[in-house]
Amino acid sequence: MHAEFQHAVDDVHTAGVPGVWAELRVDGQVWRAAAGEATPDMRHRVGSVTKTFTAAAVLLLAEQRRIRLDDPISRHLRLVPADREITVRSLLNMTSGLADYRFLAFPSLLNGSPQSLADNQFRHFYPTELIKLGVEAPAVEPGTYSNTGYLLLGRLLEKVTGTKAERFITRHVIERAGLRNTMFPTGTHIEGPHPKMYEALSGLLDPPRDYSVYDMSWVGVSASLISTLEDLNLFYAGLLDGKIVSRESLAQMKETGPVTAFDGSRVEYGLGLHRHDDDLRGHDGSVWGAGTWSFSSEDGKRQLSFAVNLQRWTGDPIDDALTVLRKLLPQAR
């Protein structure tokens, strides 16, 4: 299995990704592989994988009866008008109809220019200003992927607990899962071994530009976590084994509906969890220069996480090689 695994990782690198690394777990056996500018134990920005952590924290509040998932968010926060009839659940499962703020915070992207990436590299955004952009934008079709909702969930955590959302998630989700290398950023740099992170922006940046140093306040508790592949595999195994939220909460997280992702693809999305194939649950993530994919079988016996340090490339070879790598998880026995 290890030779096949390493070969699949090598092929992603050969296809054009500067660095790729992966960890596969099957019934207690662990295989690690890396190619190019990477080692298997590197820390990385894991993007929207963060959403599963944030969703778990919200479910814990519901278990404590401090909120209800079907509460209107306006009952707790004044950031959304009451007539929008947006519930906590609809924020979790992307059915709120709230627009994403990305193109409003990075306006040059609408004109085919990468200038906003450079302009915002060291800019600190406050969650409320990003939420305001999304709330005031025209509503979108329910089932449209949006970071705005998860920033609202972060504010909900703070309003109900009186604690910063990042601190609450760290204490009640990350520490509960026993993760040692998972953290929210406290500055623009990543501490410890990590790769450069190259953003191609669909050919607008040629050659791709390194954005491993970046102020991640532009995504906050929706997509800013730093982690390792080992930690992500342990997290999803623990979550699906009922060690982080209750079995009842987990069942609700697994209830999915169709959601349109940023790239136009359709995914089956629950409360912070994707469904991939028939029995795989997890999440993927993408921020400037950093991509992550982390899924587990529902029985918790198999996990695969991999990371790449190039995003928004052009051309099929990389996509084809990543498809082969993803297929190793459902095939692993």
Q: 151: pLDDT confidence band, cut at 50, 70 and 90? A: very high
Q: Percentage helix, strand, coil, to 5, in the chain?
A: 40, 20, 40
Q: Which of 8, 23, 55 is nearest to 303 (CA)?
A: 23
**pLDDT, average across residues 54-61:** 99
Q: 316: pLDDT confidence band, cut at 50, 70 and 90? A: confident
pTM of the model: 0.98
**pLDDT, average across residues 115-128:** 98
Report the alpha-carbon distance of residue 39 to residue 22 in Å, rounded.
9
Please tell me the predicted confidence (pLDDT) of residue 206.
Answer: 94
Please tell me the predicted confidence (pLDDT) of residue 315.
Answer: 77
Phi, psi of 320 (to 5 degrees): -65, -40
**pLDDT, average across residues 279-301:** 96
Q: Is the model's pLDDT at 277 over the cut of 90?
A: no
Residue listed under structure tokens 């994403």: 100
Q: Which of 134-143, 178-187, 269-278, 323-332 has the lowest mean pLDDT?
A: 323-332
Please tell me the predicted confidence (pLDDT) of residue 2.
Answer: 84
Report the alpha-carbon distance of residue 211 to residue 220 in Å, rounded.
17
Q: Which of 93, 53, 24 is nearest to 244 (CA)?
A: 53
Alpha-helical regions (H) of the chain: 2-15, 50-63, 88-92, 102-105, 115-119, 127-136, 148-161, 165-169, 229-240, 247-254, 316-331
* pLDDT tens digits, one per residue of 167-225: 999 999 999 999 999 999 999 999 999 999 999 999 999 999 999 999 999 999 999 99
Q: 133: pLDDT confidence band, cut at 50, 70 and 90? A: very high
Report the alpha-carbon distance of residue 325 to residue 229 in Å, rounded.
15
Q: Are 221 and 50 spatial neighbours (Cβ–Cβ below 8 Å)?
A: yes
Q: 278: pLDDT confidence band, cut at 50, 70 and 90? A: confident
Mean pLDDT, the chain, rounded, equals: 97
- Which residue(s) pair with 91 in the sheet? none
Q: 19: pLDDT confidence band, cut at 50, 70 and 90? A: very high
Q: Are 165 and 157 spatial neighbours (Cβ–Cβ below 8 Å)?
A: yes
**pLDDT, average across residues 24-47:** 97
CA atoms within 13 A on the CB side of 101: 24
Please tell me the predicted confidence (pLDDT) of residue 116.
Answer: 98
Distance (Å) of CA 324 to CA 24, 237, 243, 270: 14, 22, 31, 25
**pLDDT, average across residues 303-332:** 93
Domains present along the chain, CATH in parentheses:
2-331 (3.40.710.10)
What percentage of the chain exceeds 90 in pLDDT? 93
Cβ count near 217 (within 10 Å): 17
Please tell me the predicted confidence (pLDDT) of residue 333.
Answer: 66
**pLDDT, average across residues 222-231:** 99
